[in-house]
Structure 1
Amino acid sequence: MQVHEQSKGYHRGASDYVVGRPGYPPEAVDWLRDVIGVRPGARILEVGAGTGKFVPTLQAAGGDIIAVEPIAEMREQLQSAFPDVMALAGSADAIPLADASVDAVVCAQAFHWFATPEAVAEMRRVLKPAGVLGLIWNGRDENVPWVATLSEITDRREGDTPRYRTGAWRNAFPAPGFELVDERHVRNAHVGTAEQVVLKRTMSVSFIAGLPSEERADVEREVRDLIARTPELMGHREIAFPYETSMYAYRAV
């Protein structure tokens, strides 16, 4: 599978990704257990696992975790942070596992990068009969004015980068061998300093991290200016960046 040009920003931005991205709400653990079938003794594959941001949520639900991640810098951070997780080099359409070898497949903040018939078929191949594919994203709440302004800063640079917010990932479904069994949306927040959850979040965006250094500096200046002129952000030790966590489940049939 050819990696999209803009995903190369993750090679440079892996460290910012760890700090700048939100975690997942408690409801995600319930979803994993009740819908996806994550439990002790189950074999769970995360495709596009990145630095392992979703691993603590998977661990809270139980199961033996296998992570597949094509970008070496991110995979190295995952292995360092979670030495008990089997981390494999591979991609969504070339998973280095046998047929019908996992109980569930999950993609956290990643499926939009590889939402193709080939990738969906490959994930179906490694799933056991009646296994479940779970897709989960944290999407920023742009009903909040400063969040909408932040999105304007980043969206001007997105080009043709695949993103969850466009909804293009939905074109991969309906897909042979899968049926939709669950969809849910819950509130979430990333709590930390404005530097962590606003600036580093922005600089970890793939197409921002991949910009030439002068353009990245322009983005950083714009975001710092937004923080400085926004009362909800400036002068607070901690802020809460509002998100909506969206979860979708497809059962293998």
Structure 2
Amino acid sequence: MKDQVHPSAAAGYKTGADTYVRGRPDYPPQVADWLTVTLELNADRTVLDLGAGTGKFTGPLVATGAQVIAVEPVPQMLEKLCEAFPEVLAASGTATDLPLPDASVDVVVCAQAFHWFASTEALTEIARVLKPGGKLGLVWNLRDAKVSWMPKLDAIVNALEGDTPRYYTGAWREAFPHQAFGPLQVQYFSHGHTGSLEDVIFNRVRSISYIAALPVAERAKVDAQLRALIAGEPALRGRDVVTVPYETVAFVAVKGR
């Protein structure tokens, strides 16, 4: 199973689970309606939180009343999830080797995760555990590129990505179309990540897998670049609390009956 986890995820999330909890934004309130209306989650349903990480999206899933099963391959991330949500059935696993029976869940949700394992093989395995007519939800929180200083932040981050899978490249879309699923349908929600500069800028960047995996000296260089960016931006300089605007994009595809 370890061989199926990208090295950036295995190394970065192993050491950066705490930073991930502090630095990653939550999801907007509109997601609650998307879960209950579009994905039809309720107390009679079972949902798989695939690539669940530290449980950032587990809370909204639990709030629907559905039975939640969380699957995550990185032990340090899974430990954080179990601490936060002891009522959730959590297990180690990957998208191509799910520890679940055939047709056992109504919904599969991948929040901030599908780009890591986007493949025909993963979709085939997801379809295996979904009931006929079940739904696959894909969710990402994205920094709003329309903000004037955001391209500068993205340039710092993207320069170090190497071969790490990322949402913005669109490579994840190559897994579709897939014979088990209908077409992807999409909705967008706007929100903001409000907090200290340490959390919403520094810890957010530090929580990125391939940056968390860098040697200490290289991570210090990234911090220096972020400090220079903040010093040059009136919207950030000298602020105790800032709001970084985000757009949440939510896709759904329905498994054939």
Once structures 1 and 2 are overlaid, which stretch shifts more, 94-103 or 21-30? 21-30
After TM superposition, give the deviation of residue 59 of structure 1 in Å: 2.1
Once structures 1 and 2 are overlaid, which stretch shifts more, 201-210 or 57-66? 57-66
Partner of 2:40: 37
**What is the TM-score with the length of structure 1 in the denominator?**
0.97
**1:186 and 2:189 are equivalent in the alignment:** yes
Partner of 1:9: 12
Once structures 1 and 2 are overlaid, which stretch shifts more, 96-105 or 57-66? 57-66
Once structures 1 and 2 are overlaid, which stretch shifts more, 168-177 or 227-236? 227-236
Trace 1:74-223 onto structure 2 (pairs within 5 A).
Answer: 74-180=77-183, 182-223=185-226
**What is the TM-score with the length of structure 2 in the denominator?**
0.96
After TM superposition, give the deviation of residue 181 of structure 1 in Å: 5.4
Distance 1:34 1:104 in 2: 13
Partner of 1:237: 240
Deviations 1:38-75 (CA, angstroms, capped at 9, x unpaired)? 11121110110000000121122220100000000000
After TM superposition, give the deviation of residue 35 of structure 1 in Å: 1.2
Report the number of matched residues.
253
CA RMSD across the alignment:
1.1
User: Which ranges in structure 2 are unaligned for 5 or more consecutive residues?
Assistant: none
| 1:208 match: secondary structure | helix
| 2:73 match: secondary structure | coil
Distance 1:169 1:41 in 2: 31
User: Which ranges in structure 1 are unaligned for 5 or more consecutive residues?
Assistant: none
Distance 2:60 2:235 in 1: 29
Distance 2:76 2:106 in 1: 28
Deviations 1:214-251 (CA, angstroms, capped at 9, x unpaired)? 11110011112222332212222321111110010000
**1:48 and 2:51 are equivalent in the alignment:** yes
Once structures 1 and 2 are overlaid, which stretch shifts more, 89-98 or 52-61? 52-61
Moved segments of 4+, more than 6 Å: none
After TM superposition, give the deviation of residue 83 of structure 1 in Å: 0.5
Once structures 1 and 2 are overlaid, which stretch shifts more, 221-230 or 16-25? 221-230
| 2:102 match: secondary structure | coil
Distance 2:8 2:133 in 1: 35
Distance 2:43 2:204 in 1: 33
Distance 2:39 2:152 in 1: 35
Distance 1:19 1:229 in 2: 25
After TM superposition, give the deviation of residue 204 of structure 1 in Å: 0.5
Partner of 1:27: 30
Deviations 1:96-122 (CA, angstroms, capped at 9, x unpaired)? 000000010000000000001111000
**1:58 and 2:57 are equivalent in the alignment:** no
Q: Contact 1:35–1:182 at 8 Å: present in 2 too?
A: no
Deviations 1:117-141 (CA, angstroms, capped at 9, x unpaired)? 1110000000011000000001111
